[in-house]
Homo-oligomer: A and B are copies of this chain.
Amino acid sequence: MLDLYGVERCDEFCTHADLIGKVKPELPEEEKLYDLAELFKIFGDSTRIRILYVLFESEVCVCDIAEVLGMTQSAISHQLRLLKQAKLVRSRREGKTVYYALADDHVRTILGQGMDHINE
């Protein structure tokens, strides 16, 4: 195999077909990468992260989340919609009240790994 590191230049010598030929097929499909970015965008807002941390404890209704976080019902409801679209939370109606809960354990794992990185 050609060595990847002993090259001097970036036109013909650095841009060599074998690296590109090797790396390119390993890339997931464009659509997957796009979906993955969309998922992480959901985690990329501190309001939504705070909502998820509230739901770590238990199922909670919209107005209680709003109160705990000191935000309006509308703002929380908008964010819950995004979290639900991303399948990070699920909801259950009981009369007038709607309770939200974490959808699965990937949420905990992903946030946990993120915290580990932050705390290094």
Q: Which A residues lie at the B interface, using CB under 8 A?
A: 4-5, 7-10, 14-16, 19-20, 22-24, 26-28, 32-46, 48-50, 53-54, 56-61, 63-64, 66-68, 70-73, 87, 94-97, 99, 104, 106, 109-111, 113-118, 120
Copies in the complex: 2
Contact residues of A: prevailing secondary structure: helix
| Contact in complex: A118, B10 (CB < 8 Å) | no
**Which B residues touch A58, using CB under 8 A?**
4, 19, 23
Residues of B within 8 A of A111 (CB): 36
Give the interface centre of A16, A42, A44 by most chain B CB atoms within 10 Å.
Answer: A44
A28 to chain B, nearest CB (A): 7
Given contacts A19-B58, A22-B57, A36-B114, A14 and B44 within 8 Å (CB-CB) = no
Least distance between A54 CB and chain B CB atoms (Å): 5
Q: How far is the CA of A50 from the CA of B28 in the complex (A)?
A: 9
The answer to whether A8 touches B95 (Cβ under 8 A) is: yes
